Structure 1
Amino acid sequence: MALRWYTTVINCLDVRKQAAWWAEALEWQLVHESDDECVIIPGWVDQKVMQETPWERIGPGLVFVTVPEGKTVKNRLHIDLAPHTSQDRDAEISRLEGLGAHRVDVGQADDASWTVLADPEGNEFCVLSSRDS
C-alpha cells in the first residue's frame, strides 16, 4: 500500500486572500473556496490527468484553513520553490515581491544559495537556486 502526499495545509486569517496569492504566485488553480477553507492545485492538472495518473503519483495541493490567531514564530515547515535554469531567478523573486512577499532573515548566511521570503501573512518560504530537475 502506498500513501499519497495529498496536501499541505496552511493556517491563515484570510483563506481567500492567501489562496489567491499562492495561486497567482505558483500559477495554480483554485478548485474549492469557502469562508473557512480554500484549495489550490497545479494549473496543469485537470480531470483527465487525474484519471490517467496513478493515485500515489499525483502531487499535493495546498489547503488554506482559517485559524483565529496570527503567525507569531518561525515556521517549522516551509515550502521551497525553485526556478528552472531557463528562468531568471532574480526576476521571479521580484515578481513574488511585487505580489506582496517580503524578504526575511531566519538566520541564513549572507552567501546562502536561497532567498527566504514570507507571504502576505508572514509564512516563510524559500526560492532556491535555479535547477533543471
Structure 2
Amino acid sequence: MALKWYTVVVDCHDPQAQARWWAEALDWQIVHDTPEEAVAIPKGMGAEPVAELEAWFARGQGLLFVPVPEGKTVKNRLHIDLAPHTSQDRDAEIARLESLGATRVNVGQDEADVTWTVLADPEGNEFCVLSSRNR
C-alpha cells in the first residue's frame, strides 16, 4: 500500500490572494475558498469524489493556502519547480509571472552557471522556473 501525495500546504497572510495568484500563474482553478483556507487544483482535475483507487492515485496534487500570523523570514526549505514545455517560450513565461507580481530573487545561485530562474510569489515564497522540457 502507498500513500498519495495529496497537496502542498503554503503558509501565508492572505490565503485567498495567494490562491488566486497561483491559480492564475498555473492556469488552475480554485475549488475551495473559506477564511481558513483556499485550495487550487489543475483545471480538469475536478473536485468531486473518486471511488476507484487507481483513478484517485492518478489525480494531480493541489495547493492549499492557510493563514499564519508570522511573516516569512528565511529561504524556503521546500519549493516548487515549474517547467515550460520545449514548445513554449521560457523567457515569455517568466515575464508573464513577473507581470502577475513575481519577483526575481537570489538564494545563492550563480546566475551564470544555472539553468533555472528563482522567483518569489507576492508573499515571498521562492519557486524556480526550470529549463524547457518534454518529459
Cα separation, 1, equivalents of 2:108 and 2:58: 35
CA 1:17 to 1:47, structure 2 compared with 1: closer, same or farther past 3 Å? closer
Counterpart CA distance in 1 for 2:68 and 2:49 is: 33
Name the counterpart of 2:11: 11
Normalising by structure 2, what TM-score? 0.93
| Distance in 1 of aligned mates of 2:102 and 2:6 | 25
Q: Kindly tell me the number of residue pairs found equivalent between the two proteins.
A: 133
* Kept after mapping to 1: 8 A contact 2:38/2:64: yes
Percent of aligned positions that are identical: 66
Alignment of 1:114 with 2:124, yes or no, is no
Residue aligning to 2:73: 72
What RMSD in Å do the two structures reach over aligned CA positions?
Answer: 1.6
CA displacement 1:9-51 (0-9 Å, x = unmatched)? 0000000000000000000000000112000100121268956
Shift of 1:58: 1.7
Shift of 1:57: 2.1
2:31·2:47 contact (CA, 8 Å) conserved in 1?
Answer: no
Give, as a single letter, the amino acid of the residue that structure 2 aligns with 1:17. Answer: A
SS in 2 for 1:4: coil
Q: Are the aligned partners of 1:50 and 1:58 in contact in 2 as well (CA < 8 Å)? A: no
Task: Provide the residue aligned with 1:42 in structure 2.
Answer: 42
Query: How far apart, in 2, do the equivalents of 1:20 and 1:6 lie?
Result: 19
Offset of residue 55 of structure 1? 2.2
Unaligned runs of 5+ in 2: none
